[in-house]
A and B are shown apart, each in its own frame.
Chain A
Amino acid sequence: MADVSVDIRNVVKSHGAITAVDHLSLEVRKGEFFSILGPSGSGKTTTLRLLAGFEHPDQGDILIEGRSMRLVPPNHRPVNLVFQNYALFPHLTVFGNISFGLEMRRVPRAELRSRVETVLDMVRLTSKQDRLPAQLSGGEQQRVALARALVNHPSVLLLDEPLGALDQQLRQDMQVELKAIQEQVGITFICVTHHQEEALTMSDRVAIMNHGRLLQVGSPQEIYETPASSFVANFIGVSNTLVGHIRSLNGSCCGVMVPGLPKAQAIVARPPAGAGVGSPVTLLLRPERLHLSREVSLPGFDNALEARISKAIYNGSEMQYLLSLADGISWKARVPNAGGGQKRFLPGEAVFVRWTVDEGVVLPE
């Protein structure tokens, strides 16, 4: 396929007894901002090091721009890596760091200078080109690391926790800047991170990994709205869950029976593909999709459950409520704080929790 930039084919990589990457297959498209998201030990960093050529697959193959990378050493691969903690050369200036790759490839002096100046300008560090890395702030070091990789015009740019060492504010600014730079240069970016907000904000597509396995690939919206498993749902944001089984099936709707809730009260939901009556399922609900009210009846919702507010937390932009449902089930709900004097609920108050059939995601157990 012409538009595939990186093709990972059934790759296995073990470190001793631990299988770091377990039969991973993945295609990354040209010019795409692709993130690999997972907790530590999920195999995402190993995947990146396999792409960069610092480790070699036990099985399977990796193709970059259609070329097998087997036996290709790191210095001959069309990829460049932005290292975690940057790995800037402490003895070289900003200019020296950025020109390093061009010098290794014996790019003529004049071309080298103009290319370095272009990226220096892009990352807004022209005025600091003669500084040593130790004389730069964290954000500036990060931008040097980025420029040092980009100046080589790689086919694929690899980023290992690129914003991990920055503080919250800078991290958010850099997310926007990184995405803008990626759109400007049009290079494929593959970014490894454990920070879900970062992945959702910057990426065209996200892959979720855990224990060396690929769990789901999709756009940020797909990943968030229709997680393929409860691990994915809980890793990306918070989810409320109910565990039960399908009692009735009726076209595009099903009734889910949840032990502990009143018998008459089946939850209306979309059935997962291939599910039949009696299939065990898990229902996932995002806290911000729940509607809380005191009204006993309210039109426009498919489901309603009684709950009691066990805790109300004010955190500026929104209210967070901890709800206790029947049978010791505990949920979270988030309500934006819009306008003054808006109705708030107090701990101990009885409320109704409502949602429509499309807000819930049902997964087969």
Chain B
Amino acid sequence: MSRRRTWLLAASLGNLLFLYAPVAVLIVFSFNASRLSATWQGFTLQWYRVLAEDEALLAAVQNSLLVGLASTVIATVLGVCAAVALERCPFRGQRVVEGVLLLPLVIPEVMLGVALMLFFVSIQLPLSLVTVTIGHAAFNVPIVVVIVRARLRKLDPALEEAARDLGASAWQAFRCVTLPLLMPAILGATLLAFTISLDDFIVTFFTAGPGATTLPLKVYSMVKSTVTPEINALSAILVLVSMALVGASLVLQRKPVRA
């Protein structure tokens, strides 16, 4: 028994080492004074300073935030409405609608990227931050639908009935009972959609025009050209930001679902 435990623990720790070592190494070497070598040459904050002065980078961050916010708002509004409709009012042809809403989650992202690019080119909509936002909303709607529906399904339908029994109209029952209970899932979905939008490279790569550089596009061009300590510093910042987002989402999901 205990030998089995030890073995499992060792395997699990090995997994974690595999998951974290590369990122940890990146962070450590973001403070390395040497420009080229992978040997430790002393502590410096120089690469962070370089980042802070890189105006193209700051513009890319701004673009990313803009696209992330806009696409998340669109995806959340559309996704929450669709999730409620799909879960609470069954109708004929629901399976087809569900298929259309879920397909973006399974098809290769490269394909979504080229399809959108072809589409924008053929309707002669110039590639820009607008087309990027549209693309991001397209893959985020399904994500919001899936998360919100899962939560709706877990809600006891008797809760809405109880509200109706206590004199609430259908809309009041939704607004006073269902919506507050759905809020953690909606916020969680929003956060996930925002993160995915911030991180997305592939769809952005195909739908962004000149001047519409987002952060991942910038990182990609930096990585492609050379390996420099600035990327390490940037990576370290991004890792910390994503950890903060995970923490925030966890706090949101703590709320009770049922009594």
Q: Report A-B touching, CB under 8 Å.
A: yes
Residues of A within 8 A of B (CB): 52-54, 73-76, 79-81, 83-91, 100-101, 104-105, 132-134, 136, 141, 148-149, 152
- Since A75-B164, A81-B161, A101-B166 are in contact, a sample of 12 more A-B pairs with Cβ atoms closer than 8 Å, ordered by chain A residue number, is A53-B164, A75-B168, A83-B158, A85-B158, A87-B156, A87-B158, A88-B162, A89-B177, A91-B181, A101-B167, A104-B163, A149-B166
Given the interface pairs A87-B159, A133-B259, the reply to whether A100 lies near B166 with Cβ below 8 Å is yes
A3 to B158, CA, bound (A): 32
Interface centre among B166, B168, B257 (most CB of A within 10 A): B166
Q: Is the CB of B166 within 8 A of A86?
A: no
The answer to whether A83 touches B161 (Cβ under 8 A) is: yes
Docked Cα-Cα span, A148 to B161, in Å, equals 14
List 8 interface pairs A-B (beta carbons < 8 Å), by A numbering: A80-B166, A86-B259, A89-B162, A90-B256, A104-B168, A104-B172, A132-B256, A148-B166
Pair B167/A75 contact, Cβ less than 8 Å:
yes
Asked if residues A75 and B169 are in contact (CB atoms below 8 Å), the reply is yes
Residue B238 at the chain A interface, CB threshold 8 Å: no
Contacts of B167 in A (CB 8 A): 75-76, 101, 104-105, 152
Taking the complex as formed, is B258 at the interface, i.e. its CB lies under 8 A from any CB of chain A? Answer: yes
Complex CA gap A90/B255 in Å reads: 9
Chain A residues in 8 Å Cβ range of B162: 81, 83, 87-89, 148
Q: Is chain B's interface secondary structure helix, strand, loop, or mixed overall?
A: helix
Chain A neighbourhood of B163, CB < 8 A: 89, 100, 104
Is A90 a contact partner of B181 (Cβ separation < 8 A)?
yes
CB of B66, distance to nearest CB on chain A (Å): 34
Chain B residue contacts of A52, Cβ below 8 A = 161, 165
Cβ of B14 within 8 Å of any chain A Cβ, yes or no, is no
Q: How far is the CB of B21 from chain A (nearest CB, A)?
A: 40
Task: Knowing A104-B166, A104-B167, say if A74 contacts B259 (CB, 8 Å).
Answer: no
Given contacts A74-B161, A83-B161, contact A88 B259 (CB under 8 A): yes
Report the Cα distance A152→B257, complex, angstroms.
26
Tell whether, in the assembled complex, residue A134 and residue B165 are in contact, meaning their CB atoms are under 8 Å apart.
no
CA–CA, A254 and B258, complex, Å:
61
Which residues of the partner chain A approach B159 to less than 8 Å between Cβ atoms? 87, 89
Q: Given contacts A85-B158, A87-B158, is CB(A80)–CB(B256) below 8 Å?
A: no
Contacts of B181 in A (CB 8 A): 89-91
A359 to B110, CA, bound (A): 84
CB neighbours of A74 from chain B (8 A): 161, 164-165
B177 contact set on A, CB distance < 8 A: 89, 91
**Chain B residues near A105 (CB, 8 Å)?**
167
Judged by a CB distance under 8 angstroms, whether B176 is at the interface is yes
Q: Per-residue 0/1 for B221-259: is the Cβ within 8 Å of any A Cβ (1 yes, 0 no)?
A: 000000000000000000000000000000000011111
Give the contacts of B144-168 with A (CB-CB under 8 A). 156, 158-159, 161-168
Q: Check: B180 CB closer than 8 A to any chain A CB.
A: yes
Residue from A75, A132, A133, A141 within 8 A of B165 (CB atoms) = A75
Closest to B156 in A: A87
Q: Report the bound CA distance from A141 to B158 in whole Å.
A: 15
**Smallest beta-carbon distance B180→chain A, Å:** 5
* Inter-subunit contact B256/A134 (CB<8 Å): yes
B162, B172, B255 — which one has the most chain A CB atoms within 10 A of its CB? Answer: B162
How far, in angstroms, from A75 to B170 measured CA to CA in the complex? 9
- List the A side residues contacting B172 at CB < 8 Å: 104
Q: A104-B172, A132-B256 are in contact. Are A87 and B164 (CB under 8 A)?
A: no
How far, in whole Å, are A88 and B259 apart by their CA atoms in the complex?
Answer: 7
Whether A54 contacts B166 by the Cβ 8 Å rule is no
A85 to B177, CA, bound (A): 17
Please pick, from A75, A100, A141, the residue contacting B259 in the complex, using a CB distance under 8 A: A141
Residues of B close to A84: CB separation below 8 A: 158
* Contact A91 B180, beta carbon cutoff 8 Å: yes
A residues in contact with B169, CB < 8 Å: 75
Q: Which residue of B lies closest to A160 (CB)?
A: B158
A83 to B157, CA, bound (A): 11
Q: How far is the CA of A79 from the CA of B164 in the complex (A)?
A: 11
- A-B pairs with lowest CB-CB distance, top 3: A101-B166, A133-B259, A87-B158
A52→B256 CA distance, assembly (Å): 28
Report the bound CA distance from A152 to B166 in whole Å: 8
Give min CB distance, B148 to chain A, whole Å: 16
Q: Give bound CA distance, A229 to B159, whole Å.
A: 39
A57 to B: closest C-beta gap in Å:
18
Q: Which residues of B contact A101 (CB under 8 A)?
A: 166-167
Complex CA–CA separation, A84 to B169 (angstroms): 22
How far is it, in angstroms, between the C-alpha of A101 and the C-alpha of B166 when the chains are bound?
4
Complex: A88 Cα to B258 Cα, angstroms:
8
Instruction: Closest B residue to A136 by CB, please name it.
Output: B259
In the complex, which of the residues A54, A90, A132 has the most CB atoms of chain B within 10 Å of its own CB atom?
A90
Q: Which residues of A contact B158 (CB under 8 A)?
A: 83-85, 87
CB distance from B93 to the nearest CB of A (A): 21
CB neighbours of A132 from chain B (8 A):
256, 259
- In this complex, what residue of B is CB-closest to A52? B165
Task: Determine how close the nearest CB of chain B comes to the CB of A160; give it in whole angstroms.
Answer: 9
Q: How close is A75's CB to chain B, nearest CB, in angstroms?
A: 5
